[in-house]
Every structure is written in structure tokens, then in C-alpha cells.
């Protein structure tokens, strides 16, 4: 062992002990005849002192140390004369007796400090240096503690962690698979799992009635801001349960994690909000409930007064931002620009201030009497000083989603999205299907294995679009941290589902035959849930992106810039795989 202690553990009580420390040189400074070196490791920073009068040669060596040199120091723990109350080790220092340089370092390309001068690209290229920064390392520590707690909790509830294979079959339904050519089976490919969904269902068929796995999953998607081609799921499944059993158990787990990892006691049951309400009041299936500003629909109040924009709209609705009547014309124009950005796509925004005397002053005053505006004010329960923002459009759902973006932006501007506040809920009663314009058919909103609500099963034949599912998402602070459903365990119902989704019986059999066959041999009722580990850790760590809680993330082009992967293969390797590179077909 190169050290007797870490750089984080020595205290005043250790004074007088001879110790050996090893670590990185954070910084060093000469003051008079003394050289002070801050020595850093994973556990903290300890000050090491070299005294030129006592040992000039040793001190001279210390003066030559550069940033990030790896050194070993033998010395005595001593009380500091000028203590540093900001460091846990700030009461002591090490009077060095011996110094060994274990490895030198070139000058690092950015400073190894929480507040670094390195940009994103540089930090990713030198991720191994970036990870030396305490603020990044602490995310990995949190991730470790989180997975330990999850396992402890689920193990205590009788769950078995079962590893499912990474090399599985490709299923074109759903997102795009990453595939793996098989050398032993030329022309054939494995796929990397998008989730162990069907495999965990097979584990239920096999009688493992409480399964979990913390597992890598893969999706070959065009990467949006906060997606990674590989991500980690806490994947769970249970047999002989109904929706409430699953929700209760995993709500319990969420509360346990909040308590253990964030010290937050959540005593109240989480709200369970039907999907239809989430869309109506927040324009989102993952509403951020840290703040109010529920949508108010204004079709009855605001239509029919000659303002053609509203008169011709299928939806007119707004939010009331408390105390925001102080917004300037410039700020309001910026909000209008915000909702008109192509990513949001609103045509415009109407606003109305509630003035000190209670009068409403709006951007469309010429179309509305004060009486109507007062009626509108009443709908919001708005008070003097409040600001009302209204959007409209001819597609109800689209307009709600635009209003959702506006609500979130106002929440941000008004400081209502506090990272240390947590608003948890379940969104339930999802629709079974959603219409895909692209595919011109119904698609499964969750996945084709989701159980419809028993009372809606007759609608499968008459009005499938109206069928609700036994599906549920857990949402925290506007982030979907997990979701799941009760699954179909009956092969006839599963076959019907594939039929509604446009599968021929042959294609259903070809792609999911293994599952439907398994259902013939005594599949128990079952259901489950998957939590996104990366999202949970980001949430607990207060990160804006999941990237910083991943040791070696990929960039938006799916590249690992540190490893410089992916890269070209040797021709021999391609040959062995019976593959050739071809130019993509023109679109």
C-alpha cells in the first residue's frame, strides 16, 4: 500500500502521528522559507508543508512539483497555526519528511477545479481529468449509492436480480435497434435490447414473481439534448399483482430513495392524475407540479366577440402568472417570440395585466369589453398584479403543448422551478393507442404488451382510440422518471392487440412468437415498471443533463470523443462478418 491514510481523513486528534499520503498536487505555493502543497485524492485535500530551513533539498524537490503530479509524502501530522475552516482537514497539516514523485504530469488542458476553465468538448475529450473534479466525481458517488439503495430495497422485498441477455433478436416495432452482426451465423444479426421487456415477461412466465435488474439499454435514435444511445434502467416486474400493488411498492421505493439519498421525507401519497387531466391542466403527460399556473380554458368566455383569431380557434386557454403584471412590454415581446419559435410553433400570444384597481388591461382590448375581461379574470381567480397569458390554436393538443412550454418558461423566469423542491405524481389512465400520422395507423402509446383497462376491452372492437390502458408513469418535477403497465398475459388478447396495431398474424408470430407461445403454458397475471437511473441521479444531483452523471458519455453524434469511437474496421474484420460498406441509398 502506497499510503497509510487518505487525504480526507486526518484530524486534530491525529496530530503527532507519522503518516504516508499519496495523491495529486492540487496546487503549491512558496511563502518565505516554506512550501505548501495541497495534496488531493478522492476523499479530500490535505496540506503538506516543506520547510527550507529543515531540509533544503527536500524543499527544493517540492518546489519542482507541477499541478497534477502524483506524489507520495511521508511526514508528521501537526496542528496548523492558521486553520482553514472550509476544509474538514483544515485543522492540520503534514510536516513532510520524505517526498516521492510517483508520476509526473503535463500541464492539464483545463483547471481541475469545480469552477473549471474547460469547455464541454475539451472536458469530454479528457474525461479522465474532468472526473477528477469533485463536482463531477460526486455525481458518480451518488449514482453508486443510488444503485446500492435500490438493490437493498428490492432485495428486502423479495426481488431477484436476473441478468437478461444483451445479444437478443431485433424487433422493428418501436425505436431503432442497434444491431450486432454474427460471424458464426453469416448474414444474421443480434440486436442490443431497447429494454428487457419481453425477457422479463418470460421470467414471469417462468415463475420468478419478483424480478429486477439494473441494466444497460440501447436506442439508436437521433439524439436530442438529453438522450444517450446507451442508458441505464432499473427494470422491474411482478406477478400476481394489480396496478395499485405496483404503484404502492415503487412509490415506497421512491420515498426510500428520497430519504436515504436526499434526506427528504415524503409522507403524503403521491397524487395520481389521469392522463386526460394532465393534458387539460398542464398540456403535458409529465407536468411539473412544483408550481401552479394550471391551464384555464377560455373558449366560452373569449370566443364570439369578433376577435377572429380566437373565434376560429378550437382551443383558447391561458395561465395566470402571479405578480407578473410588472413585466415590461419588452419582456412580453420576448415571451411572444419564445412561443413563436419553430420548436414551439404558436402563432402569437395574448396577454392581460390585472391592474392595481382590478381592471384588466389586455393586448386585445379593442375586441373585449371590460366586463368580458373581468369574467375571464374570474376564471383565473387573478388578483391585482397578476399577468394572464393566452394562447389559441386550431389543434387542441398542439395548442396545449405550446401553452405547456409557456408555463414552464414562466415558471423558470419566476424562479418557481427550485431544484431542491420535489413534486412527485403518478400519471395514470393513459390512452392505449395514439394515432401516427407518419405510419397512418394506431401505435401503442406504451408498448404492444400493455393491458387495456378491463372496462375498456369491449371498445377494442368498436372504438380502439378510446381505450385506456393499465399504464402509469411516475413524474418528478416535470421529468418522467419511470413508467410501466399491467401486461397482457392472455395469448388471445395479445394476438388481438397485434391485429389492431396492423400486424398480420404471420408477422406477429415471426416477431413475437416466442412470447405468444410462452403465454400458452400458464402465464400468470403480471406487470411492472422501469425507472430511468440516469434521470433519477440527475434529479437528485440537480443536474441539467444526464450526461454529467455518466462516467463516459457520448456526444450528440453518438461519439465517444475520448475513445474516438466508433471508428472504421479492418477489411479482414468486415470479411469475417460477411459485410461490406455501401453508400447509403439516396432518399
When the beta carbons of 223 and 344 are compared against a copy of itself, the nearer one is 223
127 contributes a contact to a copy of itself by CB under 8 A: yes
When the beta carbons of 128 and 435 are compared against a copy of itself, the nearer one is 128
Q: How far is the CB of 21 from a copy of itself (least distance, A)?
A: 10
Give the torsion sign (CA, 297, 298, 304, 308). negative
Cα 229 to Cα 378: distance, rounded to the nearest angstrom: 48
256 contributes a contact to a copy of itself by CB under 8 A: no
Work out which of 60, 79, 155, 394 binds a copy of itself, going by CB under 8 A: 155
Cα 279 to Cα 315: distance, rounded to the nearest angstrom: 13
Q: How far is the CB of 228 from a copy of itself (least distance, A)?
A: 9
When the beta carbons of 186 and 542 are compared against a copy of itself, the nearer one is 186
Burial of 162 (0-12, 13-18, 19+ CB in 10 A): middle
Work out which of 57, 115, 117, 163 binds a copy of itself, going by CB under 8 A: 163
Beta strands at 350-354 and 189-191: parallel, antiparallel or unpaired: unpaired
When the beta carbons of 160 and 397 are compared against a copy of itself, the nearer one is 160
When the beta carbons of 435 and 514 are compared against a copy of itself, the nearer one is 514
Work out which of 242, 337, 355, 365 binds a copy of itself, going by CB under 8 A: 242
Backbone dihedral angles phi then psi of residue 122, each to the nearest 5 degrees: -65, -40
Do 124 and 564 meet the contact criterion of CB atoms below 8 Å apart? no
Of 1-60, which residues contact a copy of itself (CB under 8 A)?
A: 1-3, 22, 24, 40-42
Binding flags for a copy of itself, 405-434, as an x/- string (CB under 8 A): ------------------------------
Q: How far is the CB of 494 from a copy of itself (least distance, A)?
A: 12
Of 355-394, which residues contact a copy of itself (CB under 8 A)?
A: none
Work out which of 54, 97, 126, 347 binds a copy of itself, going by CB under 8 A: 126
Burial of 577 (0-12, 13-18, 19+ CB in 10 A): middle
175 contributes a contact to a copy of itself by CB under 8 A: no
When the beta carbons of 82 and 557 are compared against a copy of itself, the nearer one is 557
DSSP 376-417: HHHHHT--TT-EEEEEEESSHHHHHHHHHHHHHHHHHHTT--
Work out which of 148, 276, 314, 457 binds a copy of itself, going by CB under 8 A: 148
329 contributes a contact to a copy of itself by CB under 8 A: no
Work out which of 168, 299, 443, 459 binds a copy of itself, going by CB under 8 A: 168
564 contributes a contact to a copy of itself by CB under 8 A: yes
Work out which of 39, 45, 48, 129 binds a copy of itself, going by CB under 8 A: 129
Cα 571 to Cα 249: distance, rounded to the nearest angstrom: 52
128 contributes a contact to a copy of itself by CB under 8 A: yes
284 contributes a contact to a copy of itself by CB under 8 A: no
Look up cell 484530524; give the residue: 11
Binding flags for a copy of itself, 66-105, as an x/- string (CB under 8 A): --xxx-------------------------------xxxx
Q: Give the list of residues 6+ apart from residue 506 with CB closer than 8 angstroms, or none.
A: none
Look up cell 393507442; give the residue: 433
Of 196-215, which residues contact a copy of itself (CB under 8 A)?
A: 199, 202-203, 205-209
C-alpha cell at 177: 435497434
Give the torsion sign (CA, 166, 168, 172, 173). negative
Contacts 24+ apart (CB under 8 A), 545-549: 545/225, 545/226, 546/226, 546/228, 546/231, 547/226, 547/228, 548/136, 548/139, 549/139, 549/140, 549/142, 549/143
The residues that bridge with 27 in the sheet, in sequence order, are 38
Amino acid at each position: 500500500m502506497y499510503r497509510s491514510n487518505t487525504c480526507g481523513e486526518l484530524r486534530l486528534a491525529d496530530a503527532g502521528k507519522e503518516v504516508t499520503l499519496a495523491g495529486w498536487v492540487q496546487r503549491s505555493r512558496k511563502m518565505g522559507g516554506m512550501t505548501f502543497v495541497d495534496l488531493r485524492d478522492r476523499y479530500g485535500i490535505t496540506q503538506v508543508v516543506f520547510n527550507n530551513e529543515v531540509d533544503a533539498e527536500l524543499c527544493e524537490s517540492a518546489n519542482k512539483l507541477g499541478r497534477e503530479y502524483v506524489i507520495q509524502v511521508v511526514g508528521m501530522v501537526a496542528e496548523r497555526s492558521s486553520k482553514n475552516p472550509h476544509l474538514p482537514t483544515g485543522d492540520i497539516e503534514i510536516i513532510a519528511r520524505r517526498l516521492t514523485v510517483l508520476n509526473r504530469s503535463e500541464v492539464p488542458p483545463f483547471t481541475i477545479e469545480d469552477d473549471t476553465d474547460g469547455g464541454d468538448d475539451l472536458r469530454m475529450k479528457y474525461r479522465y481529468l474532468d472526473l477528477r473534479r469533485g463536482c463531477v466525481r460526486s455525481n458518480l458517488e451518488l449514482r453508486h449509492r443510488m444503485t446500492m439503495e435500490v438493490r437493498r430495497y428490492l432485495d428486502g422485498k423479495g426481488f431477484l436480480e436476473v441478468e437478461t441477455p444483451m445479444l437478443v433478436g431485433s424487433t422493428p416495432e418501436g425505436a431503432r435497434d442497434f444491431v450486432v452482426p454474427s460471424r458464426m451465423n453469416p448474414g444474421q444479426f443480434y440486436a442490443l435490447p431497447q429494454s428487457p421487456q419481453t425477457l422479463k415477461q418470460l421470467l414471469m412466465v417462468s415463475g420468478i414473481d419478483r424480478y429486477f435488474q439494473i441494466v444497460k439499454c440501447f436506442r439508436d435514435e437521433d439524439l436530442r439534448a438529453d438522450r444517450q444511445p446507451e442508458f441505464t434502467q432499473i427494470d422491474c416486474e411482478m406477478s400476481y399483482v394489480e396496478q395499485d400493488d405496483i404503484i404502492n411498492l415503487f412509490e415506497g421505493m421512491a420515498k426510500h430513495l428520497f430519504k436515504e439519498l436526499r434526506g427528504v421525507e415524503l409522507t403524503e401519497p403521491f397524487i395520481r392524475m389521469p392522463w386526460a387531466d394532465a393534458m387539460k391542466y398542464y398540456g403535458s403527460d409529465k407536468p411539473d407540479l412544483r408550481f401552479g399556473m394550471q391551464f384555464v380554458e377560455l373558449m366560452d368566455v373569449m370566443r364570439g366577440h369578433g376577435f377572429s383569431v380566437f373565434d376560429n380557434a378550437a382551443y383558447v386557454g391561458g395561465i395566470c402568472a402571479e405578480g407578473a403584471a410588472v413585466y415590461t412590454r419588452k419582456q412580453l415581446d420576448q415571451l411572444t417570440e419564445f412561443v413563436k419559435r419553430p420548436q414551439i410553433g404558436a402563432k402569437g400570444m395574448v396577454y392581460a395585466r390585472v391592474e392595481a384597481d382590478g381592471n384588466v388591461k389586455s393586448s386585445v382590448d379593442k375586441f373585449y369589453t371590460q366586463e368580458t375581461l373581468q369574467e375571464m379574470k374570474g376564471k383565473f381567480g387573478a388578483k391585482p398584479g397578476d399577468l394572464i397569458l393566452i394562447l389559441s390554436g386550431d389543434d387542441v393538443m398542439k395548442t396545449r403543448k405550446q401553452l405547456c412550454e409557456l408555463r414552464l418558461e414562466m415558471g423558470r423566469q419566476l424562479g418557481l422551478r427550485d431544484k431542491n423542491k420535489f413534486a412527485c405524481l403518478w400519471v395514470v389512465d393513459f390512452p392505449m393507442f395514439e394515432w401516427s400520422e407518419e405510419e397512418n395507423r394506431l401505435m401503442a402509446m406504451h408498448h404492444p404488451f400493455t393491458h387495456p383497462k378491463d372496462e375498456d376491452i369491449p371498445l377494442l372492437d368498436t372504438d380502439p382510440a378510446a381505450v385506456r390502458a393499465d399504464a402509469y408513469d411516475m413524474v418528478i418535477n416535470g421529468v418522467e422518471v419511470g413508467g410501466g403497465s399491467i401486461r397482457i398475459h392472455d395469448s388471445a388478447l395479445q394476438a388481438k392487440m397485434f391485429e389492431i396495431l396492423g400486424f398480420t398474424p404471420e408477422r406477429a408470430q415471426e416477431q413475437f412468437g416466442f412470447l405468444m407461445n410462452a403465454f400458452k403454458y400458464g402465464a400468470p397475471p403480471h406487470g411492472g415498471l422501469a425507472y430511468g437511473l440516469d434521470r433519477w441521479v440527475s434529479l437528485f444531483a440537480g443536474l441539467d443533463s444526464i450526461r454529467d452523471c455518466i462516467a463516459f458519455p457520448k456526444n450528440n453524434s453518438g461519439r465517444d470523443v475520448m475513445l474516438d469511437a466508433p471508428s472504421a474496421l479492418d477489411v479482414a474484420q468486415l470479411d469475417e462478418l460477411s459485410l461490406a460498406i455501401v453508400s447509403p441509398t439516396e432518399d
